[in-house]
Amino acid sequence: MFYIFTILKRSNKTQPGKFNYLCHVSANNSKIDIRSLSLEALQQHFTAMGEKAFRAKQVYEWLWKKSCFSFEDMSNLSKDLRQKMADLFTINHVVINNSQYSADKTIKNSFKLHDTHLIEGVLIPTTERMTACVSSQVGCSLTCKFCATGYMDRKRNLNPDEIYDQVVLLSQQAQQNYGIPLTNIVYMGMGEPLLNYANVLKSIERITAEDGLNMAAKRITVSTAGIAKMIKKLGDDQVRFNLALSLHAANDTKRNEIMPINEQNSLVALADALKYFYSKTKNVVTYEYIVFHNFNDELQDAAELAKFCRHIPCKVNIIEYNPISFADFTNAGEDKIEAFANYLRKQGVNTNVRRSRGKDIDAACGQLAVKDKATAEA
C-alpha cells in the first residue's frame, strides 16, 4: 500500500488561499519530495545540511524556473551537494506515458504519476492560440452524466507540482511539434479544480511567479462544475485568473438531471456566489453551455440562459457535444445551435460557438477518461 502524507501550514492569515507546503513524505520512501517545500523550508534544510542558505534559491530556480527533473542536471552545484540532495530528496516528476495525434493537430497525452496512476492532458493548437488543457485530479468525484471522467472514481487530488509538470510537458510538446510557445492554460481536464483548491492555487502561483514559469494569470482559466462556497473563496482570495462555469442548463430541474452537483449548489446559490466573486475580482465569468439535442436546445432554454447572464458581466461559450460510450446524449443540429446563439446575441449576451478539437482521439471536451486497465486497478 502506498501513502503520501502532506504537511501544510497557513503562511499568512490575511491571505486564506496561501499555504506553505512543508513536505510530502512517502510511507515506503523516506525521501522528501523537494518540490513540496517552500523556499523558506528548503533554506532550513540546506542550513541543517551545513550548506549556505543561498544554495536553496539556486535549487528552487532549477526546480520551478528551469523545470529541472534531475539533481544531476543542476550544473552550478557541486557534485557533493547534488549527491547530498539525491540522498535526502526526490523529484516526483510526471512523465508522458503515451501520446495520440489528431487529424486537426490536437495531441492527447496520458501522463504517468510517481505512484503509477495515469491522468490525461491535451495540447490544443488553433490559428489564434496554443492551449494546454490540464487535469487537477486522478478521476473525478462528480458524476456529470455527459462527461467521461464523471464515470471514473476519484483516486486522489494532484499535487501542485503534478499540475505544473503537465504544463511544462505540454509546453515542450508545443515547441517540438509546432515551434510555438503556449499561450493559454485551461484547467478543464480530469477532475473538479475547486475540490482540490489549495493545490490548484499553489500550481497557478508557481506557473505565474517570476521565479516560476512567469505566465500571465489572465492566460489561465479554471473551469468548475459549480461549487458555490469555493467560488466565493476565489473572490476572497482575489484571484487574477479567469473563471469558467460549466452551466449547460439555466433551469434547476434540467441541471439536476445532468449535473447532480446542482442539487447542493442550485442556480440561486451559484448566482449569489458569482455576484460575490465579481464584486471582489471584477473578472468577467465565462459560462460553458453544451447544446444537447432535444434536451436544452430550444429558445426557451436560451431565454433562461440569457436571464441568468444578467447577474454579472459574462460571456457564453456554446460548446459542441462530444459523444461518449457511457451516455446517450447527442449534439444539437447546426440550425438549433445557430438559432440558440443568435437569440443570446440579440439579448446582448457576448456569445461564441466553439468547435471541438481532437474528437477522433477522444481528446475533446468531456471525453477524457483513462482507459488503461493497469491504471484503473492501480
Q: Whose CA is closest to 81, among 40, 122, 34, 121?
A: 34
User: Of 120, 162, 288, 320, which is the active-site residue?
Assistant: 120
DSSP 8-state code for residue 358: -
141 is in an annotated binding site: no
Any binding-site annotation on 117? no
Handedness of CA 183, 38, 119, 240 (dihedral sign): negative
Nearest Cα residue to 99 out of 367, 378, 358, 366: 358
Question: Any binding-site annotation on 144?
Answer: yes
Coil, helix or strand at residue 8 = strand
Catalytically annotated residue among 23, 133, 309, 365: 365
DSSP output for 12-63:
-TT-TT-EEEEEEEETTEEEEEGGGS-HHHHHHHHHHTT--THHHHHHHHHH
Residue 246 assigned ligand-binding role: yes
Assess whether 365 carries a catalytic annotation: yes
DSSP 229: H
Specify the residue for cell string 542550513: 47
158 annotated as ligand-binding: no
23 is in an annotated binding site: no
Flag whether 157 is marked binding: no
191 is in an annotated binding site: yes
Q: Cα torsion at 72, 76, 81, 85 (round to 10°)?
A: -50
314 classed as catalytic: no
Please enumerate, by residue number, every residue annotated as part of a binding site. 140, 144, 147, 191-192, 223, 246-248, 322
Please enumerate, by residue number, every residue annotated as part of a binding site for [4Fe-4S] cluster. 140, 144, 147
Please enumerate, by residue number, every residue annotated as part of a binding site for S-adenosyl-L-methionine. 191-192, 223, 246-248, 322
Residues taking part in catalysis? 120, 365
